[in-house]
Amino acid sequence: CLENSVLLRKTVQSHRPHFIAVHCQEVGGKNYEASMSHVDCFVKELLSSDAMKEYNRVRVYLDENYKSQEHFTALGSCYFLHESLKNIQQFDFKAKKFKKVVGKEIYSDTLESTPMLEKEKFPQDYFPECKWSRKGFIRTRWALADCAFDLVNIHLFHDASNILAWEKSPSFYSGTRQKALGFVLDRITDQRFEKVPYFVFGDFNFRLDTRQVVESLCSTATMQTVRLGDTNEVDKLIFRESENDRKVVLQLEKKLFNYINQDVFRENNGTLFLQFDSELSCFKERLHELEISFPPSYPYSEDSSQGKQYMNTRCPAWCDRVLMSATAKDLVLKPENEEKNLVYDNIGPNVCMGDHKPVYLSFRLTAGAGKANANKHKCCNVQ
């Protein structure tokens, strides 16, 4: 947690934002019962650092109550407000009104009783393959002068099997994610509250179209299918070169994606593979994104000496994103956002950050646009 905290602080010092939003998923990691203390360590380290001393108002929401299977999402949403930022308010979803943000507050365990956010876990039948899922979303709403916006922390379903993901295009799993994301968008734009611009950022678990990627990587290879003797299920797929001593190009198993040259996913930031990144296309009227110019954000090696290396477990993909509504994109792409002020990138490209590289969007937001006393504030959304 110390390394991640240091790199986040360096990013803050580099961009000097007035409003910082950090969205975390899987807080506590896979062994959350034993590792939840590391989350508290990360937050304390961040709050006590010199880089954050000018942020005199803080809101931290950590869903750490793993004993409540019905509600536990393992999501963490952290917000830091610079002392120079005036007239900032947060929405109370129960009272249905904005309230002034004062002081530093940390909420954990049961977030259901906190009126300053909305939290939902996806219904179990959205992903019946998983006995107990922690996937869901947390929404907060903010107002900077006359500009209100929603910040939504999200974690969608993963690909449980590379074999099943390969079987058809688009995969079964992409349909599950589409259903869950549609659920979130419907919830945050329903009639209960006034509609405002929204930013949705987190681990969408978007994957490249596995079938199409394999066809591209192994276009001249021959495929060998290995089946389990008792069930006849496909256990592994082995793609070999037709010549060159029939060298193995790719081996695919439930949790193995072992390609002969993973450098292709890093070359030119993986741009060649963006053509297979299509899960967002069915939401093109509701969600927008700036141009991606960083390598796939997952699955990186968790070996501290292998910061740029991908694991051979899944096909590399841009799982971690910062997306926004059309009205939010209008805020981000206003003329005052010169190219140097607008950054969509990852954090720690050469350093081990876990299996996901954090992704962030930094931009200027003009409060009171069109008024004589308009103020410019720099925002940074970190996933």
| 137 within 8 A of 75, measured Cβ to Cβ | yes
**Cβ neighbour number for residue 83 with a 10 Å cutoff:** 11
**What is residue 38's predicted lDDT score, i.e. its pLDDT?**
76
pLDDT winner (highest mean) among 13-22, 128-137, 187-196, 339-348: 187-196
User: Are 65 and 74 a contacting pair, CB within 8 Å?
Assistant: no
Beta bridge partners of 257: 252
Q: Which two tokens stand for residue 236?
A: 């592994």
Round to whole Å and give the CA distance between 301 and 311: 5
Looking at residue 141, its pLDDT comes to: 98
CA distance 253 to 172: 16
Q: At what angle do helices 32-48 and 2-15 cross, to 10 degrees?
A: 40
Is 254 in contact with 161 (CB distance < 8 Å)?
A: yes
> What are the CA-CA distances from residue 194 to residues 92, 188, 189, 237, 370 (Å)?
13, 10, 8, 51, 22
User: Average of pLDDT values for 164-191?
Assistant: 96
Residue 28 has pLDDT above 90, yes or no: no
| Distance from C-alpha of 304 to C-alpha of 271, rounded to nearest angstrom | 26
Domains of the chain (ranges, CATH numbers): 1-208+268-362 (3.60.10.10)
Mean pLDDT of 100-125: 91
The model carries a pTM of: 0.93
Helix-strand-coil percent breakdown of the chain, rounded to 5? 25, 30, 45
Looking at per-residue pLDDT, the higher value among 123 and 246 belongs to 246
Q: Tell me the mean pLDDT in the region 185-192.
A: 97
pLDDT at 115: 97
The pLDDT tens digits for 143-163 are 998 899 999 999 999 999 999
pLDDT band at 336 (very low <50, low <70, confident <90, very high): low
Q: Are 364 and 378 in contact (CB under 8 A)?
A: yes
Nearest residue to 187 (alpha-carbon basis) of 238, 287, 128, 120: 120
Closest CA to 75 of 59, 91, 60, 62: 62
d(CA 381, CA 265): 25
Q: How many CB atoms lie under 10 A from the CB of residue 104? A: 13
| More confident: 382 or 55 | 55
CA 269 to chain centre: 18
**In this model, does residue 129 exceed pLDDT 70?**
no
Q: Tokens for 79, please give them.
A: 């917000």
Per-residue pLDDT band at 345 (split at 50, 70, 90)? very high
pLDDT band (50, 70, 90) for residue 131? low
Mean pLDDT comparison of 31-45, 113-127, 204-218, 328-342, highest-scoring range: 204-218
- The four Cα atoms 209, 257, 181, 357 give a dihedral, to 10 degrees, of -120
- The tokens of 62 are what? 């950590």
- DSSP designation for 85: -
Inform me whether the pLDDT recorded for 374 exceeds 60.
Answer: no
| Spatial separation of the C-alpha atoms in residues 10 and 297, rounded to whole Å | 19
Nearest to 378 by CA among 58, 19, 13: 19
SS3 201: strand
Of 244 and 187, the one with more pLDDT: 187
Asked if pLDDT for residue 269 goes beyond 50, the answer is yes
**Mean pLDDT score of the chain, rounded to an integer?**
90
Retrieve residue 211's tokens.
């079938």
Flag whether pLDDT at 235 surpasses 50: yes
Query: Three-state DSSP class for 154?
Result: strand
Handedness of CA 338, 280, 131, 297 (dihedral sign): negative
Helix (H, G, I), strand (E, B) or coil at 242: coil
The pLDDT score that the predictor gives to residue 124 is 78
**Rg from Cα positions in the chain:** 22
Average pLDDT over residues 123-151: 86
